[in-house]
Structures are given as structure tokens and as C-alpha cells.
Structure 1
């Protein structure tokens, strides 16, 4: 079985495997079981058995190739086209598998292969032509068996005319149902990915609007007063100096207001970081389980642990291919301990804290300065970051904003919002 699901589509990988076994696997199994039993029947002449055995091999290959190509579309983008040559091969094999049993008046077996071929063809069609194909195939299925029964006079006209249409309708329904669910899941996954992208863009636009509102007035006044001071420099130096002093004051106000805006976005809170991390991970298709025990912890400790939560989430989205993540926070014996683990360490560097001044390494130094510690361990596909800190660390352990985020955290994301970089976003998941 070829599983063409991208590695980062963690939310759909398991569903795709289920759909693969439920559609191609089940239909091929039924085809081999019933047709193979007829081929191995010693009472059947050798020549029809030989033709049917060769046709069965071609039909099985055609069904597998065509359905696997159909599943690769995932309900996103234009409907895929069937691989060249395989539809014709499947139709010819289905004709042989129908003609041989029908020639021996086996009215229960002959419609199986044609019904399966019609169902595969229907998966590639748009709704209107698909309905026409289903109705036409169901109606026409009554004719061959009924004609053979009438000509032979075997007295099985009712069975020969009614059973094939029923089998055709059932096979088509059994195949299209799971594929319809697969298409819906693919479209929902695409919508989730687009929603995550829009949330990030909206947050950046909001930040840009706030910054514009703060800076626009100040910069406009600074520009006008600077122009006025330049004109007055030669005729009224005292007034020009006063205008430049006003420019200096406006510049200081603008800098203070800008820092206030950035501080409001960049300050971290552990509770907000855990809540936002859970939402962002869910948007990326990662099942995040949290276990948080509320406890009184000083603001510096909550700030530093919030930075750890943000950095761990960013690294998880950037490097990992996780399907499950765990977040555990509790305070025991005056020590606050935060653990973030995931099962997608295959893409994580051997030492994610390597380097100086950025990322986990920088956070480890800051936690050590506050009397705590930061450790990370990789065991197979399991990666876990553990941060510990006294519940009331020294106040000077808290860095000065706004430049308090680790170097590996995304500089244009607001506080409490872990954002995956474009390389980590799937053609579903990107969060």
C-alpha cells in the first residue's frame, strides 16, 4: 500500500489509512474472495477459469491504482484525473469477468466486477454525471442476466433480472460513502489551515493598526515642527531651538508609547500561553492534553515560565511532526514545574538548545539565574522540555521589556500567540 499523505498532515494520516483499507482494501478483498472461489471451482470449465484468472489480476491492479490516485486528492483542489490506461484496462477486465460467469448462467457473480468498475468511475465524476452513471449502470445491470435467462429458459428470470441491479447499487453506495467522508474531511482540514493563517494575519494587522495609531500623530507633528525649526534657524534661532526641544519631547513620547504597545503584546503570562498554545496546536492538527493545577506564583516566575511555554510551542511547530502533545504544570514544595512533551521528535535537531543567546539555551541561563533550571530530553520520537523555578524568584530575574522574548521566538507574533513559520505549515497544517 502506498500512503501518499504528507508527513505533516497528522490529523488526516490515520483517517486516510482507514479509508484506504475501507475502500480499495475491502472491495479488492470481496472481488478476490468471490471471483477466486469461482475460478478455483473444479466444476467450472478450464478455459473460462483461465480467462477469469488473468482478468482478475488486471481488475485488482486497476481498482487499487485508480482508487489510490483518487484518495491522493484529499478533497482539496481540483478533482484528480485517473492515471492514463488504467480505466480502459479495468473496463476490459470487468467485461471478461462478467462474460465468463454469465455464459455459465451464474447470475450472482457476473455483475460484481462491472459494478466495481462503475463505482470507481463514479468517484472521478462531478455530481450530475455521477448520478447519470449510477442510474444508467443500475438499470442496464438487469438486461444481460434477464436476456440470458429468457434465452436459456432456466426459469430464473426474476433472480437474473433483479439481483444484478441490487448488487450494482450496493457496491457503488459502499464505495462512494467513505470517499465522500474523505473529501469532506479534506475540505475541513483545508478550512482549518486557512483559518489559522487568517488568525495570524489578523493579529499582525491589529498590531500594525495599533502601532500606526500611536506613531502616526507623533511623526506627523515631528515632521511639521522639524520643518518649522529649519526655516527659523536663520531668522529666529531661539524659537528654532524651542521647536527642536518640542521635537525631542515628542520623540521621547513616541518612543515611550511604542514601548508601551510592544510591552502589551510581548509580555507573557503562563496561563495565557498555555491556553493559546492549546488552541494553536489544535489548529495544527495536534492533540494537546493539558494538566494544570492552579497555585499562587509570583509574577516573575509566571513570566519566565510563559516564555518557556511559548518557546517550546514554537519549536514544536517549527521542527516536530507531532500528533500528540502534553502540557503539565504544577507547584510542589514551593517549586513551580512545567513540562511540555510531544511524540514528533523526528524533525527536532539533536541539540535544539545549541547556539548562544537564543532559544532554549538562553532561557536555561535565565531560569538558572532565577534559581531554577531548564532541561530537555529526547527519547526516540519523544521530546520533553522541563522547566522548574521557585514560586517566588528574585525580582531582578525578570528581564526588561520589550526585548524579552527568546531569539528563536517569532518577533512579529504577539504575546501568548505561538506562530509556526511558513516552512512548518502544511499544505494543512500550517498553524
Structure 2
């Protein structure tokens, strides 16, 4: 479960809130049920004050220990031996005193809650088996004690512990399982986005290998032949080196053509590709594109906007935990305005405006290229939202 913990610590896609809410609901349920039920018994003046104090302290300790253990469980951390011992001992005391006094509706609360928390650290099958064992053992304790004390409410003493286990156990195991599933799904979402980027890199690498591998192999052979002919037949050696020079030039031209083809983009293709890649990464994408406007743009502005879409998409995948994104292309006074908006930025982006690295890469480089053709590129960050806005002339 280390993956789930890593994802949880990253806090992606609302998982931080989900984790806190899950812990709050489970720990709060334990606190409320034990606090109100045992608290009413602790305030009963008919019970000896010393016994009430011991039971109240043991119950409060049980609540705290269960809350700590739940926090460690939801972070997929190994439970502390000290807190395990504290929870078990406190629950034992909180159960023993009411049981000895014949309070059959109070005594099973602390053991049932503690057992339900502890079994969540076990694999699913063993957890359900442990709950099944608790469904047998706790009612048996109540039954034997009631019979030994001559308690007429034997049925109450028997079914009350079972009811407490059924109330706490499935809720604990079920909600923590839901958290586990959510963490794994988020991990799969991020992995899908990374694989989409890696797939594109592999495609480019394969194309580059096909070009360079062929030319370099021929260049190596002809260079070796020229070296052998250098003394015996200088004319043929020179001819071979001229062919090597030509091959090197061909390789350079084909490599440049490959890189330019890789960089060359169309707006429609980039928006479609961005929607596909982001959706594969688990991002809910809304594309609102004026098709007539996109078609009316000249090649230069259209290609630049396509590059903006590509760069913004890459940034969403690399630098955010986005769950929603929007790609909007609408008319503008100057020509066209492209807006790409995503959540999950988490304040990791640089400040708003035209700030950039200045190293000729990313948004800063695109801003310079848009400036050169009379366009404009800006980006703003507010809370967890990041917005990229590009305008170009038609």
C-alpha cells in the first residue's frame, strides 16, 4: 500500500480532502458513540465515583488511541506498538468495569470500536475473519457473564456486543477500502498521463534512430574504406570521402526535417491530442472551439496556438494535479483568443503576468514568438487555478 500513501501525500485530485474526511468520519463516529453512550453512564450518580472516573479515563484514552491508529492506517503507516498496547489496555478497562457492574449495553462499545480499528491493518480476508471471530467471542463473554450474575436479560447481554461489532466493523473496513481504491485510481490516472508522454517520446526516438542509424552505418563503412584507400588509391579515397560528406549532409537535413515535423503542429490536431491525453490522465476536459474561427486563421498563428496548446498540456501533466481543464477558442478584437484553464495547480506555478525562465523554453519562449507576430501570451495563477491566455491576429 505504499503507492496509496505516496499518492495521498501528494494530495492530488482532492485526495487530501478525501483522506481527511474519511479519517474525520471514522474517528468522529468512534468519539461520538463512545463519548455519548459511556458519558451518560459515567455521569450516573448511582455508580461509584472512582469506578466512573476509571471508566471515563479509559474510554477517553480509547477514543484518542483509535483516532491515532486510524490516522496511521489511512496514511498506510505501520501501527505503533505503543498505541496498539494503549488502545487494547484502555478498551479492556473501559469494558471490564461496566461488565462487572452488569451494564451490558455499555461494556461492548470500547472493545468493538477498538477491534474494528485494529482489523483494518490486516489484509481484507483476514480482517473479515477477525470481525467474524469478534462476533462470536464478544457475545459469548456477555452471555457467560449474564448467566454467572443471574441476569434475566440474557438475550440483551448476547446480542448487544454483536450489534456493536456489526455497527463499527463494516463501516471501518468499507470506508478505508474506498479510500484505498480512490488512491489507486489516482495513481493509475497519473501513470496514464506519464505513459502518454513517454509513448510520444518513444515514437520520436524510433524515427530518429531510423534516420541516424542508417546514415551513420554507411558513413562508418565508407570512412573505413577511404582510410584503406588513402595510400593505395588517393583518388578513390577522395571519392569515398565526398560520398561521406554527402551522406552527412543528407543525415543532417533529414534530422532537421524530422525535428521540424515534430515541432510543426496544427491547432485542430493539438486540441484533439490534448483532450485525448488529458482524458487518459483522468482530467475532465471541456473543449469549446469555434471551428470556423480555427479554419480562418492563417498557417502561422494557427501553428503558434497549437504550440501553446501543446505546452500548456505538458505543464498540466507535469506540474499539476488537475481534475478539470478547459480549452476555449473564441473571437477577439485582434483575431482569436485561446484560453486554457486548469485546476490542481496548488500554488506551484510562477506568479502571474509574463514572468518566465528566460532560457528560451516553455511559455517564455512562446511568448517571445507570439510577440514577434503581434500576438500576446500571458498566464495567471490564483489559488489552485492556472490560466494560459494567447491572442493572435487573424
Fold-level similarity (TM above 0.5): yes
Map 1:3-18; keep pairs closer than 5 Å: 5-18=8-21
TM-aligned CA deviation for residue 332 of structure 1:
4.3
Aligned counterparts of 2:234 and 2:108: Cα–Cα separation in 1: 101
Residue of structure 1 in register with 2:360 after alignment:
357
Aligned counterparts of 2:200 and 2:223: Cα–Cα separation in 1: 34
**SS at the partner of 1:140?**
helix
Residue of structure 1 in register with 2:163 after alignment:
166
Tell whether the 8 Å contact from 1:341 to 1:382 is kept in structure 2 after alignment.
yes
TM-aligned CA deviation for residue 95 of structure 1:
1.2
Tell whether the 8 Å contact from 1:229 to 1:239 is kept in structure 2 after alignment.
yes
**Cα distance 1:116–1:386, how it changes in 2: closer, same or farther (>3 A)?**
same
Residue of structure 1 in register with 2:311 after alignment:
311
Asked if residue 369 in structure 1 is aligned to residue 376 in structure 2, the reply is no
Asked if residue 253 in structure 1 is aligned to residue 250 in structure 2, the reply is yes
Residue of structure 1 in register with 2:39 after alignment:
36
Asked if residue 238 in structure 1 is aligned to residue 235 in structure 2, the reply is yes
Aligned counterparts of 1:8 and 1:35: Cα–Cα separation in 2: 36
Map 1:27-426; keep pairs closer than 5 Å: 27-73=30-76, 80-281=77-278, 287-295=284-292, 296=295, 297-319=297-319, 324-332=324-332, 335-343=335-343, 344=345, 346-350=347-351, 352-355=355-358, 357-379=360-382, 381-391=384-394
Aligned counterparts of 2:141 and 2:16: Cα–Cα separation in 1: 42
Deviations 1:312-342 (A, max 9, x none): 3344455556554433212346711111234
Aligned counterparts of 1:30 and 1:180: Cα–Cα separation in 2: 22
Aligned counterparts of 2:383 and 2:167: Cα–Cα separation in 1: 46
**Cα distance 1:187–1:361, how it changes in 2: closer, same or farther (>3 A)?**
closer
**SS at the partner of 2:198?**
helix
| TM-score where L is the length of structure 1 | 0.80
Aligned counterparts of 1:65 and 1:291: Cα–Cα separation in 2: 47
**SS at the partner of 2:347?**
helix
Tell whether the 8 Å contact from 1:294 to 1:330 is kept in structure 2 after alignment.
no
Aligned counterparts of 2:196 and 2:317: Cα–Cα separation in 1: 16
Tell whether the 8 Å contact from 1:321 to 1:346 is kept in structure 2 after alignment.
no
Aligned counterparts of 1:49 and 1:30: Cα–Cα separation in 2: 17
Tell whether the 8 Å contact from 2:329 to 2:337 is kept in structure 1 after alignment.
yes
Aligned counterparts of 1:246 and 1:259: Cα–Cα separation in 2: 20
Tell whether the 8 Å contact from 1:11 to 1:286 is kept in structure 2 after alignment.
no
Say which structure, 1 or 2, has more relative contact order (CA 8 Å, 6+ apart): 1
**SS at the partner of 2:174?**
helix
RMSD: 2.6
Aligned counterparts of 1:328 and 1:42: Cα–Cα separation in 2: 70
Tell whether the 8 Å contact from 2:55 to 2:94 is kept in structure 1 after alignment.
yes
Aligned counterparts of 1:84 and 1:159: Cα–Cα separation in 2: 35
Aligned counterparts of 2:150 and 2:360: Cα–Cα separation in 1: 90
**SS at the partner of 2:79?**
coil
Aligned length: 382
Aligned counterparts of 2:361 and 2:213: Cα–Cα separation in 1: 33
Tell whether the 8 Å contact from 1:341 to 1:384 is kept in structure 2 after alignment.
yes
Segments of 5+ residues of structure 2 without an aligned counterpart are 1-6
**SS at the partner of 1:52?**
helix
**Cα distance 1:34–1:285, how it changes in 2: closer, same or farther (>3 A)?**
farther
Tell whether the 8 Å contact from 1:10 to 1:285 is kept in structure 2 after alignment.
no
Aligned counterparts of 1:195 and 1:314: Cα–Cα separation in 2: 13
More displaced, 91-100 or 63-72?
A: 91-100
TM-aligned CA deviation for residue 138 of structure 1:
0.9
| TM-score where L is the length of structure 2 | 0.87
TM-aligned CA deviation for residue 118 of structure 1:
0.8
Aligned counterparts of 2:130 and 2:263: Cα–Cα separation in 1: 59
Deviations 1:251-286 (A, max 9, x none): 222222222322332222323333443454456665
TM-aligned CA deviation for residue 54 of structure 1:
0.5
**SS at the partner of 1:374?**
strand
**SS at the partner of 1:337?**
strand
**Cα distance 1:183–1:381, how it changes in 2: closer, same or farther (>3 A)?**
closer
Aligned counterparts of 1:328 and 1:211: Cα–Cα separation in 2: 34
